Chain A
Amino acid sequence: MTAPAFSASASPVVSLRNVEKSHRTSGGATYVLRRITIDVAPGEFVTIMGPSGAGKSTLLAILGMLDAEFTGEYFLRGHPVHAMKHEQRRALAREHIGFVFQQYHLLDELTVAENLHVPLDYRGIGKSERASRVADILDRFNMVGKKDLYPRQLSGGQQQLVGIARAVIGEPSLILADEPTGNLHSAQAREIMELFARLNAAGTTIVQVTHSDENARFGHRTIHLKDGWME
Chain B
Amino acid sequence: MTTSTSTAASPYVATNADSLIRMRGIKKVFVTDEVETHALVDVHLDVQQGEFVAISGPSGCGKTTLLSILGLLDAPSDGEYRLANEAVSDLTPFERARVRNRQIGFIFQAFNLIGDLTVYENVELPLTYRTGDAALDPAERKRRVIDALERVGMSHRTNHYPAQLSGGQQQRVAVARAVAGEPAILLADEPTGNLDSQNGEAVMSLLQELHKGGATICMVTHDPRYAEFADRSVHLFDGRVVDDTAVARAV
A108, B108: Cβ atoms under 8 Å? yes
Q: Which residues of chain B (124-183) have a CB below 8 Å from chain A?
A: 125-126, 128-129, 159, 161, 163-164
Contact of B97 among A66, A67, A111 (CB under 8 A): A111
A64, B73: Cβ atoms under 8 Å? no
Nearest residue (CB) in A for B114 is A105
**What chain A residues lie within 8 Å of B125 (beta carbons)?**
107, 118
Contact of B114 among A61, A118, A148 (CB under 8 A): A118
Q: Which residues of chain B (37-56) have a CB below 8 Å from chain A?
A: none
A28-66 vs B, Cβ < 8 Å mask (1 yes, 0 no): 000000000000000000000000000001000100101
A103, B164: Cβ atoms under 8 Å? no
Nearest residue (CB) in B for A58 is B163
Q: Is there a chain A Cβ closer than 8 Å to B71's Cβ?
A: yes
**With A61-B163, A109-B100 as contacts: A66 and B116 at CB distance below 8 Å:** yes
Q: How far is the CB of A144 from chain B (nearest CB, A)?
A: 15
Q: Which residues of chain A (91-148) have a CB below 8 Å from chain B?
A: 93, 97, 99, 101, 103, 105-111, 114, 118, 121-122, 148
- Docked Cα-Cα span, A104 to B129, in Å, equals 20
- Docked Cα-Cα span, A111 to B116, in Å, equals 19
B116, A93: Cβ atoms under 8 Å? yes
Q: How far is the CB of B140 from chain A (nearest CB, A)?
A: 17
Instruction: Select the residue from A86, A114, A148, A152 with max chain B CB neighbours within 10 A.
Output: A152
B71, A109: Cβ atoms under 8 Å? yes
- Docked Cα-Cα span, A214 to B121, in Å, equals 36
Contact of B112 among A61, A67, A105, A148 (CB under 8 A): A105
B114, A107: Cβ atoms under 8 Å? yes
B40-84 vs A, Cβ < 8 Å mask (1 yes, 0 no): 000000000000000000000000000010010110000000000
Q: Is there a chain A Cβ closer than 8 Å to B226's Cβ?
A: no
Q: How far is the CB of A11 from chain B (nearest CB, A)?
A: 25
**What chain B residues lie within 8 Å of A122 (beta carbons)?**
117, 121
Q: Which residues of chain B (84-124) have a CB below 8 Å from chain A?
A: 93, 97, 100, 104, 106, 108, 110, 112-118, 121
Q: How far is the CB of B171 from chain A (nearest CB, A)?
A: 14
Q: How far is the CB of A55 from chain B (nearest CB, A)?
A: 14
- Docked Cα-Cα span, A99 to B110, in Å, equals 18
20 contacts between A and B (CB under 8 A): A61-B163, A64-B116, A66-B115, A66-B163, A67-B164, A86-B159, A90-B118, A99-B116, A101-B115, A103-B110, A105-B113, A105-B114, A107-B114, A108-B106, A109-B100, A110-B129, A114-B97, A150-B74, A152-B68, A152-B73
Instruction: Add 18 more A-B contacts to A105-B115, A110-B129, A114-B97 (CB < 8 A).
Output: A57-B163, A61-B163, A66-B116, A66-B161, A66-B163, A66-B164, A99-B116, A101-B115, A105-B112, A105-B113, A106-B112, A107-B125, A111-B97, A118-B125, A121-B128, A122-B117, A148-B93, A152-B68
